[in-house]
Structure 1
Amino acid sequence: MSRPPIKIVSGMPILGPFAENWANVQVFQAREDDIMINTYPKSGTTWMSEILDLILNSGDTRKTTRGAIYERVPFLEFAVPNVAKGTEILNSMETQRVIKSHLPIELVPQSFWEKNCKVIYVARNPKDVLVSYYHFYQMAIVHPDPGTFEEFFQGFMDGTIAFGSWSQHVKGWWKIRQQKNVLYIFYEDMLEDPKREIKKVSKFVEKDLPDDVLEKIHQHTTFKAMKENKMSNYSTIPSSVMDHTISPFMRKGVCGDWKNHLTVAQNEIFDAYLEREMSDTDLTFRFQD
């Protein structure tokens, strides 16, 4: 697969092949029992997907082997040539659907709000998102060439990379979290106390699980366990789509890796960007353990 250029749909930069199926995303029909996991890319989407799948299956790890995570939690916007589109997969599912999406609040299909669907939103500090997204852009061939880290750094701040502005994304969801059926969770909180956050998700989706099951879910969803699990580490994706020799899909899963990548000058520029972008919100992030 070549590296197709970014396209603009409804004012948002998106991966070229995804744009071809945009009309079907816009008219997607949600169901009342759908649960959406929404994030800006590289903010803990797969981690939360595995956690939620286990919660809904009462911690039965055998049920998580029924398919890779991208099959169990289909990606709404996904569309690449010669592969089933996210909308097609979801429309064919007869059981309760857990749906992955990176859409900003203003582009979520209206049916999700009409059906009052539950949404779990995961936000991560932008310095680590930037670094993780750069590595992902390199290994996921459906993305354009990210160029140098300096170029990607600028594109991130300008909001010209796939799924657009990080700040608008996290702020948009933060703003409506109490008006809609939204649970807003922080990646750094998940790292700090995974079991506490798993319990929070369990309560949100109305699954009352005993402590031993919560602990089992915690152990199954540690970074080490998921990195070694072919059902969650994306190793079953063809190398023509994701090249794990460039960078593994599950790379580090920590808070503070940005310190190994941003120069002092870049960090100062980024801090100034954040000061500007976050001046109109009470949303804050932690940047180290």
Structure 2
Amino acid sequence: MALLVRRALRHLSRVSDVLFRHTLLEREITIFDDDVFLTSYPRSGNTWTRFLVGNFVNPSEPVTFLNVERLVPDMYKTADWVLRRRPRPRVLKSHECFDARYRRVIYIVRDPRDVAISNYHWEMKLRSVPEGCPIEEFVPLWMSGKFWRRIGSWADHVNSWLATRQGHDGFIMMRYEDLQANPQRELARVAEFMGMDPDVQRINRAIELSSAANMRKMEETQGRKWVATFHTRSDKPFVRKAASGGWRTVLPEKTVAYMEAHWGAIMKQLGYALSSEVEKDAPVATHAGQ
């Protein structure tokens, strides 16, 4: 018990350091008690979840890259006065680490080995990482929080939420891999969490509209008009392979070992098997996502 307490205090100490680094602008938005926050570390499947939830909640208006900021707003891309005018209850995208004001949170988590790869390609798309940069050089810098200083590292972010909210009312955790494997079940969980009827036909339609193929098709014609990507490299897609387990064929063994040495405990807590426990020929799961 004493060990668990020390670990929790250590995690909270690191989280407090991250919180103090936040800018006021990004944390001081108007928040209502009935808001639902789709929260995750960057490149963990948040955009796919926005499309899924948006298509479920708004069946009469399919989500596109042109209307997603209105239907499921990104709190970083939308002015507070605009957000205050959105119909309630609002569903908002957030990458914030623990915030006690968030009363209802759907927390999306993804295998950090795949998150690292997705961030690697995203930073190239943003031009903050040069083409050809070895991924084994990128990963340690990314793990240090260099690219997301405001919210800290993946482990900081995950621990900030799980140490404070897991098992409490108003919080559910959803693994990206589970969403891929059984989107019907996971979207039904989300619907019930939001107090909505998990209608099967409505869920299936939301899944179809949010497929990787459909999102890629929309990105081809709308990506240059979407606030999140209009300024980025057009030769690098936002919606990539949409796969889980890609780290097995992309990351060098030394890089995987480095990640697991630092984050192995939290990975196992979340149900992610370490490389020594994973068969090398295990299949790579594919669905919609980032």
- Structure 1-normalised TM-score? 0.77
Matched, 1:244 2:243: no
Aligned-pair distance for 1:33?
Answer: 2.3
Query: How far apart, CA to CA, are the structure 2 residues paired with 1:155 and 1:202?
Result: 37
8 Å CA contact retained: 2:66, 2:225: no
Equivalent AA in structure 2 for residue 161 of structure 1? F
Using the TM superposition, name which of 127-136 and 179-188 deviates more: 179-188
For residue 200 of structure 1, give the secondary structure of its aligned residue in structure 2: helix
Q: What corresponds to 1:125 in structure 2? A: 111
Deviation per CA, 1:202-251: give whole Å up to 9, x if none: 11111104222221112112211222234997442376622221x20001
Contact kept, 8 Å, 2:224 with 2:231, in 1: the verdict is no
Tell me which amino acid in the other structure corresponds to 1:248. Answer: P
Q: Which amino acid aligns with 1:204?
A: F
Matched, 1:149 2:150: no
Structure 2's unaligned 5+ residue stretches are: 1-15, 279-283, 286-290
Q: Does residue 271 of structure 2 align to residue 284 of structure 1?
A: yes
After superposing the two structures, state which structure 1 stretch, 24-33 or 126-135, moved more: 24-33
In structure 2, the partner of 1:3 is none
Structure 1 residues 111 and 172, CA gap change in structure 2 (3 angstroms): closer
> 2-side partners of 1:232 and 1:240: how far apart?
11
Q: CA deviation at 1:169?
A: 1.2
Tell me, yes or no, if structure 1 residue 164 matches structure 2 residue 152: yes
Partner SS state of residue 37, structure 1: strand
1:266 is matched with which residue? 255
Cα distance 1:154–1:172, how it changes in 2: closer, same or farther (>3 A)?
Answer: same
Q: Which moved more, 1:262-271 or 1:188-197?
A: 262-271
Q: Distance in 1 between matches of 2:247 and 2:96?
A: 24
Separation of aligned partners in 1, 2:269 and 2:123? 30
| Number of positions where the alignment pairs a residue of Structure 1 with one of Structure 2 | 255
Tell me the alpha carbon deviations over residues 90-139 of structure 1, each in whole angstroms, 9 at most, x when there is no partner.
2343554211111111xx2x433xxxx32111000001100001101111
Moved over 6 A (4+): none
Task: Determine if contact 2:38/2:91 at 8 Å carries over to the other structure.
Answer: yes
Residue 36 (structure 1) aligns with: 37
User: What fraction of aligned residue pairs are identical, expressed as a percent?
Assistant: 24
Amino acid at match of 2:141: G
Within 1, Cα distance between the matches of 2:42 and 2:194?
23
Q: Distance in 1 between matches of 2:221 and 2:68?
A: 5
Q: Does 1:226 align with 2:215?
A: yes
State the Cα RMSD in Å.
Answer: 3.0
Q: Which amino acid aligns with 1:43?
A: S
User: Aligned letter for 1:283?
Assistant: L
Query: Following the alignment from structure 1 to structure 2, what is the Cα–Cα distance between the partners of residues 227 and 51?
Result: 15
Q: Conserved in 2, the CA contact under 8 Å of 1:230 and 1:236?
A: no
Higher share of residues assigned helix: 2
Structure-1 residue corresponding to 2:94: 101
- Decide whether aligned partners of structure 1 residues 150 and 96 sit closer, same or farther in structure 2, where only a CA change above 3 A counts: same
- Do 2:72 and 2:92's aligned partners in 1 also have CA atoms closer than 8 Å? yes
Could you say if the C-alpha distance between residues 96 and 233 of structure 1 is closer, same or farther in structure 2, counting changes exceeding 3 Å?
farther
Match of 2:121 in 1: 135
SS of aligned partner of 1:154 = helix
What code does the residue aligned with 2:170 have? N
| 1:149-205 deviation per Cα after TM superposition (whole angstroms, max 9, x unaligned) | 233211122222213210121122223122241110000001111111111111111
Which amino acid is the alignment partner of residue 118 of structure 2? S
